[in-house]
Structure 1
Amino acid sequence: VPNPSRIKSERKPYVTPMKILIARAKAEKEARKAQPCRVLEEPPENGLLVPELVEVAHRVYRARGLCNEVHIGYVGHEIRTCTGPNSWLRSATHVWRKGGVRDVFRFPKCFHLYDRVGKPRVGHDERFSVPRIPAIVELCIQAGLDLEKYPTKRRTKPVYCIEGRIADFESIAEENESERKCSFENVTPLIDSSSMLIEPVEKIQNLVGNRISHMEQLNDEERNKVRDLSKLTLDSWFEMTSGAKKIMEKYVVNTCGYCPEVQVGPKGHKLRMCKASKHQSRNGLHAWQEATLD
């Protein structure tokens, strides 16, 4: 049974209680007063990678690439929980259509940050020039995954914090020397799931279109292949979620308290595009807070 929907005017619950957030902010303010100029020692706040999470990021990215084929059922439930447009005319009954992978795995998108420490925010005027990619991919990139299409700045020395502002004194020469060449060799999927089980999957899709119980129409070999694919999909999903939770313990992910917008990075972006509750009082800005895997 689906969970009861949250009232749109209510804010999402805070992951960390507000009292702890206020106490943490006061402690950071006192630390800045006591030592205005200091070197940030803990990664990833200092711009460096967390070494033990680099391999986790690669595993999460590979696991995400394996989740390609999935089938749940051919008849939707009759639970009246629809809250979409004109749902009152249908007595909250859902209008079902044939779904796809994007309907099952709803990966939210966020802006890609070239420098997560030096420039952690995307301005409103940059909304069309900065690419948006799935948040799980951006999380892996910030944790150490290198993709040629989405370059990111890697540092070899920690940054400084001067009166609350980040200062990077790493020379351009050292930056060029430490710049790593990106390749796709380290992110190649372990199994080519796109070419795996092509005939059984096509046969399943045809049977589903005819509303026939597909497992009864498959032979033993095809049933075993579909069963192996299902197990592979679940294993990949669990590996991806467990790895993402582990990475999120170190790398910050923010979400809007009222809408589904997500941004991976120390801070949320500055786009004035929130249309959720109370957005007029924020001039369209998102109400950023700590995000969870859900």
Structure 2
Amino acid sequence: MFQGVIRHNQRFDFDRAPAVVELCCQAGADPFDENLCSNTWNSDSVEGGVIGAESLSPDNLRFIAMRTLTAWETVRSGVQKLLLVYPAKVCKYCSEVHVGPSGHKARLCGVFKYENWRGAHFWKKAEVDDLVPPKVVWHQRPQDPPVLLNEGRDFYGHAPAVVDLCNKAGVIVPSKYFCMMKVQGLSAPV
């Protein structure tokens, strides 16, 4: 069931899609269905539209942040459920992802200078973080100094950037992120 090796000059002869989109297509979703996205976001639901940050009231910002955090959680839990049914693989040495029964054999792994692996992909089972990576940022708590210092990096908390951004807009963060954010943790010693 493995495919033949795709040569370097053939790499653009095949269609590529984002991994989450391909996973949803294998589950039966139609990516060209216009009704698919109509229920998730309606720009008319925010009064006055989103022209600039100054046009949004704090309530509108909180509403947008709440919808964003809900969408983030929905995407991550949906990908988790789809990965239980449909196989997906990620290369251990590069950012290549394959959704389907076997990994492809395109020789793209290690062709860039910053990649240390030269050769075929080394496939491993994909996790949610491989398909929907949480970009983690430092989370500044009220007890932290205004400028985070290198000496206190063991005391500061982290959070996915989406969660931290929604928290700054006034949304209450789900409790599963509290240990990562070190909400009740100590501040760095001075």
Contact 1:251 1:265 in 2 (8 A): yes
Alignment-derived partner of residue 134 in structure 2 = none
Alpha-carbon distance in 2 for matches of 1:253, 1:202 = 39
CA RMSD in angstroms, aligned pairs only: 2.8
C-alpha spacing 1:123/1:198, structure 2 compared with 1 (3 Å) = farther
1:147 aligns with 2:16: no
Identity %, equivalent residues: 35
**Following superposition of structure 1 onto structure 2, how do residues 239-254 of structure 1 map, counting pairs within 5 Å?**
239-254=74-89
Aligned length: 124
Alignment-derived partner of residue 123 in structure 1 = 6
The residue identity in structure 2 corresponding to 1:269 is H
Alignment-derived partner of residue 235 in structure 1 = 70
Alpha-carbon distance in 2 for matches of 1:132, 1:143 = 17
What CA deviation, in whole Å up to 9, does each residue of 1:245-293 have, x standing for no partner?
01101111111111121111111121111113231xxxx3211111111
Alignment-derived partner of residue 135 in structure 1 = 19
Alpha-carbon distance in 1 for matches of 2:40, 2:82 = 24
Alpha-carbon distance in 2 for matches of 1:203, 1:257 = 41
Alpha-carbon distance in 1 for matches of 2:2, 2:36 = 26
**Following superposition of structure 1 onto structure 2, how do residues 189-228 of structure 1 map, counting pairs within 5 Å?**
189-194=38-43, 197=46, 201-204=50-53, 222-228=57-63
The residue identity in structure 1 corresponding to 2:37 is T
C-alpha spacing 1:144/1:285, structure 2 compared with 1 (3 Å) = same
Displacement of 1:147: 3.4
Alignment-derived partner of residue 107 in structure 2 = 272
C-alpha spacing 1:120/1:265, structure 2 compared with 1 (3 Å) = farther
What CA deviation, in whole Å up to 9, does each residue of 1:122-147 have, x standing for no partner?
83354212222111000000111123
TM-score, normalised with respect to structure 1: 0.37
C-alpha spacing 1:226/1:246, structure 2 compared with 1 (3 Å) = same
**Larger-gyration structure (1/2):** 1
Contact 2:3 2:105 in 1 (8 A): no
What CA deviation, in whole Å up to 9, does each residue of 1:204-261 have, x standing for no partner?
1xx6xxxxxxxxxx67xx2211111111111111111101101101111111111121
Secondary structure of the structure 2 residue equivalent to 1:137: helix
Secondary structure of the structure 1 residue equivalent to 2:89: strand
Displacement of 1:202: 3.0
C-alpha spacing 1:256/1:119, structure 2 compared with 1 (3 Å) = closer
Alpha-carbon distance in 2 for matches of 1:197, 1:250 = 37
Contact 1:257 1:289 in 2 (8 A): yes
Contact 1:254 1:263 in 2 (8 A): yes
Contact 1:200 1:226 in 2 (8 A): no
Which stretches in structure 2 are left out of the alignment for 5+ residues?
A: 130-190
